[in-house]
Each structure stands twice: as C-alpha cells, then as structure tokens.
Amino acid sequence: MAEAGSFAERVKQQADIVRVVGEYVRLRKSGQNFSGLCPFHSEKTPSFNVHPVKQIYHCFGCGVGGDVFKFVMEMDKISFPEAIRAVAEKCGIAVPRPRERTPEERQENQQRTSLVELHKEAAAFFVQQLNGTPEGRAAKAYLLDRGLDSEAMARFGIGFAPSGGEALLRAMKQKYPEKVLEASGLFSRDQNGRFYDRFRRRVMFPIANDSGKVVAFGGRALGDDLPKYLNSPETPIYSKSNILYHLDRAKEALRRDDCAVLVEGYMDAIAVARAGISNVVASCGTSLTEPQVKLLNRFTRKIIVNYDPDTAGQAATERSLTILLEQGAEVKVLALPGGKDPDSFIKAEGAAAYTKLLKEAPPYVDYLISRARKMDMTTAEGKLRAVNFLLPYVQRVPDRILRSEWATRIAQQLRIEEPVLRESMRKAANERRSEVKARPELAGRAGKPAERRLVQILIESEDFRSRLAQEIRAEELHKGLEVERILTVLVESCESGARPDAAALAMALEDRDRRLLFEIAFESAAPSTWEEAESCLTVLRRRLVEEELAAVQRQIESQAAAAGAMGEMRKLLERKQELRRRLESPPQ
C-alpha cells in the first residue's frame, strides 16, 4: 500500500500508531502491547491490541486489523489518500501538495468528478420534474396514493423521469461532453447512434455511495411498464455489488444500535426508515454480495434479514444467509406474516407492529428449521432432504460450540436421532474440507505450532530470513499447510531480504488468513535461532513423508483389491519401506 519513498511511507514511519489509536480508544499497556476495548465491536473485556513495534492493531474478538492508515480509514470512513492526510495532520507532518498524476489518472479522475457532478444535477432535474410538470405531478399523485408523503419524497430525493425520452438529455448535453454522457449509464443510443434517456416514465430513486454522493438511480415503472424496476448499469462510479442503498444515512444508527436491518428494495428501505428504524439498508437489485457484507460489517455484525416472504425472497434469504454466515455475521431472520414485504406490512399494520416483530426476530437457525419442517417429515427420505437442506448452513458457522448446539436443536425439532445427525455432519464436513481445502477455524488455534513459529521467525529474524524463505520455497514445504497462503506471500517478500510489513502482507490475504497472520504477529516470543528454524522445517518435512506414506498405503490397499498388478504392487511396497526408513532415521 505505502510504496517506499512515497509520502504515505514517510507518514507511516513517523506516525505512532499508539498515539493515533489512543485518540479513539483508551489504551493500556499490557506486556509489550497496548490493549483496550475494541471500537469495531461491542465488548466488555479488552481484546483490541496495538503493537508499538510492528505498528499494527488487531482485535482478537472480531478480527479487524491493519496499520495506522487502515485504522483511520475504518474509524472515520474515509479513503486511503484521505487517511494519509489525516494521520499526517494528527502527527504534525507537513502535507505536500497533491502530486501531478499521469495523464491517464488525471483523466479518469476528471471523468469520475464529472460523473458525480452529472448525477447530482440529474437528481435535481428528476425532483424538479416530479414537482414542476403535469406528468410529474400525476406521478406524484400516484406516489401519494401509495402512501409516500411529500416530506418523504423530499427526504429520499425521489424524482420523476418523463416519458419523452430526451428531457434529461436536453438538460445535460450542453454541459457535458459526449464521453461523460456515454459513461454515465443514464443514456442509451438508438440504431442511428443518437442518445436518448435510459429512464423514461419512471419514479426515480437516487442511489448514493457510502459517503452520500449520488452515483446511480433506480427507476420504478409507473403503471404496468416492464421491467418494473430498472437500475443504472455499472459505471466508473457505480458497482452494484459494492453499494448498499441507504447506508450513507444509516451509518450513525448502525454504529449506535450495533445492528442492521437488511431489506430487498428501496421502497422497503424507505418504509422501514420512515417507521423510525434508521439502521436499515437494502441490497437493491442484486442478491447480497460479499463486498456488501464486508461493507456492512464495518458498522455491525448483527444483521436482521427481512426479505420478501415469496419464493424468490426465500431463495434470496437463503443465499444471503450463506454469505453472511461465512463472513461471521450474527444473523436473525424476520419473515413477516401474511406474505407481506416490509413496505406493505408497515402500511397495513403500522410501525409499532413492525418494530415489535423485528425485536422478536428469531436466530437464522430457527427460521431454517421452520422451513425444513414444512418438508414431508413422515418419511425417511423427507427427513434426509430436510437435513441436507439444513447442514450446509450449520457447517458455515465458524464457531464449533455454536455448531454443536445447533445440531442438538435440529435433532430435537426434526425428531432425528442425534448421533445419526452428528454422523451426517461429520461426513458433510469432510466432503467440504476435501472440496474447499481446509480453511483455518476462527475459534481455537489455527495452524500447528511449527507452522505458526515459522511465520513468526520469517517476520522477526533479521539474520537468516531470506535463506529460510528460499528453503521453504525450494522444497515447497508450505504446500497444504493451514498457513500456506500466509507463507506464500511472506516467503515472496522475504526473498528480497527486506523486513516484511505485516500490514502490507495482510492486504494480499483473505479475511481469515489476515486474522491468522495478525494473531501470530501478536504472539510474544523469544528471539529465534537458525537451529530452531531448522527444527521447524524438519517437522514439516516429516509431515510430507507421513502424508506420502499414507497415500502409498491407500494405493497398496486398492491395488491389493484389484489384484494381479504385481509389478505396480512391488514398486509401492518398496516405496513404503523407503518412506518408513526416512521417518525412523534421525533428522540430518
């Protein structure tokens, strides 16, 4: 992230992470680290740590971690360049004028600025159409009839795109070059290559990014036009899988209540927000994506999913559960009675009734069990189907104890013998492991001691770091380890001989690996010696031999079963002997 010699690098070297974090969190010295209550999740005993030497932070509770810039980015919800400036200012480092960029970068930047500007003007244009034209007023009457008052329309910036097909184009084409109009996604071209308005005769909902800038629109058809909902296409400023509708307005409430209500569409989000529940966001025109969950997790991990109760909504709920659980979210599911979506429910039953149901929303497993119980439970096949429906979700729960509790509940509720269920779970877990390759568990210590120690030695030891890295790479000793991906990036950075920067390495890693790396980085340890490093390597080498031995043994058994292939069998037996000998002989 911070390139050598860059301003960012200079700031990072001069800034003291303990001081910067200390502005947000009350830190206490504990051992060689500082610790305090995590600002990213609510807790009563401190599991948030700052390492003054490595200049990183890590929370053992929720797993966040990074360098000083990452911390300020996440706390203040700002971009990387903004964080550099913020840290520099906090530490009294003079900020230079922005450096001249390459012509391409400058152009891209300019285009993005123009696109944001264009969207802002378009939003104002649509609002003006809604209030100031006969066609717009008719649309407004329709919205009023649907229960949205003028105050709500103003609050959410709702507007109207007229039916003519050129209204927005006429308003914008003098001000913006064709390239910008083209890139905005607000216009399409006809057969003759002429622009026309993409959105026609639609109620327009501005979609803002998390800093509140309008970057796209959702258009709802007036009457029976199809499609009912039309959204902006992907543009340089809009990627639908990275944006949650209403997040810009929900931020504060999300942090305060430490909980999010997740709904499907903008009408739902607006209805829920108007009911006084401002911690609501909508996934909007897409099934929930991993980047969206990560975005939301910056504010809270407790999420109540409230999708439509129709078949499509149920499928979407189940898909989103998968992603939420994998990201370690604490999920509840609200399925509204009477087949109602949040918008129609609140209209019919009122805000208080909705709030009450929200508070009573059951944990996701209860929701899933009640779904499973709707299957035919009178036959063995039916029960099997129900179990197969439930297992993939239970398997995604990172915590082992929680998983076990759910197993007991499922067995009780579906009237299945618990041992039988647990056996299915074990089998499913094994299949999943061989499919996905073992992922380190969050709970408990992932990575065996020798592996963990090697990671630490590579980070710490100045003297033989590159030699050690070369040996690991040459023999591919990191392959198949729980720390494989960590060692891959670490070894690469160590071969240059430079001191690896844990925060920079973390950038190249997925969430779980990043957490593991930080956990290891925070373990205090005695200085290492080459002998110790060698003994770790020996453990790994032995493990490789053991694995091959097991594979050979399996082959021997299957060959014996096939019988007849004597030549092949002899080779395997010889190899087996050789591997046994290696395990028995003392390490060189």
Instruction: Output the CA torsion sign for 388, 390, 396, 397.
Output: negative
Q: Is residue 40 involved in binding Zn ion (CB under 5 A)? A: yes
For residues 377 and 415, what is the distance between their CA atoms, to the nearest angstrom?
9
Q: Among the candidate windows 34-42, 253-261, 364-372, 566-574, which touches Zn ion by CB under 5 A? A: 34-42
**Is 321:393 a contact under the CB 8 Å cutoff?**
yes
Q: Is residue 37 involved in binding Zn ion (CB under 5 A)? A: no
Q: Is residue 38 involved in binding Zn ion (CB under 5 A)? A: yes
- Looking at beta carbons only, is 293 or 358 nearer to Zn ion? 293
- Looking at beta carbons only, is 38 or 391 nearer to Zn ion? 38
Helix then strand then coil, % of the chain, to nearest 5: 55, 10, 35
- Looking at beta carbons only, is 36 or 162 nearer to Zn ion? 36
Buried b (16+ CB within 10 A) or exposed e, 25-44: bebeeeeebbbbbbbbbeee
Site for Zn ion in 506-535 (CB under 5 A): none
Q: Is residue 301 involved in binding Zn ion (CB under 5 A)? A: no
Give the pairing of strands 56-59 and 202-208: unpaired
- Looking at beta carbons only, is 254 or 273 nearer to Zn ion? 254
**492: closest CA among 479, 511, 477, 505?**
505
- Looking at beta carbons only, is 36 or 136 nearer to Zn ion? 36
Q: Give how many residues touch Zn ion by CB under 5 A.
A: 6
Instruction: Examine residue 134 and say whether the peptide bond preceding it is cis (omega within 30 degrees of 0).
Output: no
**Is 386:410 a contact under the CB 8 Å cutoff?**
no
Shortest distance (Å) from residue 399 CB to Zn ion: 15
Q: Which strands sit side by side in the sheet containing 280-282, from one edge to the other?
A: 280-282, 260-263, 302-305, 330-333
Tokens coding 550: 């097991």
Shortest distance (Å) from residue 43 CB to Zn ion: 7
For residues 260 and 494, what is the distance between their CA atoms, to the nearest angstrom?
42
Shortest distance (Å) from residue 466 CB to Zn ion: 35
Tokens coding 83: 């964080």
Shortest distance (Å) from residue 397 CB to Zn ion: 19
Q: What angle do CA 125, 130, 252 make, to 5 degrees?
A: 75
- Looking at beta carbons only, is 12 or 58 nearer to Zn ion? 58
Shortest distance (Å) from residue 404 CB to Zn ion: 24
Backbone angles phi, psi at 299, to 5 degrees: -105, -40
Shortest distance (Å) from residue 299 CB to Zn ion: 13
Distances in Å between the alpha carbon of 547 and those of 119, 402, 580? 59, 32, 11
Write the binding mask 45 to 74 for Zn ion: x where contact by CB under 5 A, - elsewhere: --------------x-xx------------
Q: Is residue 41 involved in binding Zn ion (CB under 5 A)? A: yes
Q: Is residue 75 involved in binding Zn ion (CB under 5 A)? A: no
Shortest distance (Å) from residue 21 CB to Zn ion: 13
- Looking at beta carbons only, is 59 or 237 nearer to Zn ion? 59
| Length of the chain counted residue by residue | 588
Tokens coding 454: 């090697």
Q: Residue 33 has what DSSP assignment?
A: E
Q: Mention every residue, 6+ apart, whose C-beta is less than 8 A from residue 363.
A: 331, 332, 333
Shortest distance (Å) from residue 62 CB to Zn ion: 3
Q: Is residue 240 involved in binding Zn ion (CB under 5 A)? A: no
Instruction: Output the CA torsion sign for 496, 497, 503, 508.
Output: positive
- Looking at beta carbons only, is 58 or 332 nearer to Zn ion? 58
Q: Is residue 156 involved in binding Zn ion (CB under 5 A)? A: no
Shortest distance (Å) from residue 358 CB to Zn ion: 25
Write the binding mask 255 to 294 for Zn ion: x where contact by CB under 5 A, - elsewhere: ----------------------------------------
- Looking at beta carbons only, is 168 or 254 nearer to Zn ion? 254
Q: Among the candidate windows 36-44, 239-247, 320-328, 387-395, which touches Zn ion by CB under 5 A? A: 36-44
User: Which stretches of the chain bind Zn ion, using CB under 5 A?
Assistant: 38, 40-41, 59, 61-62
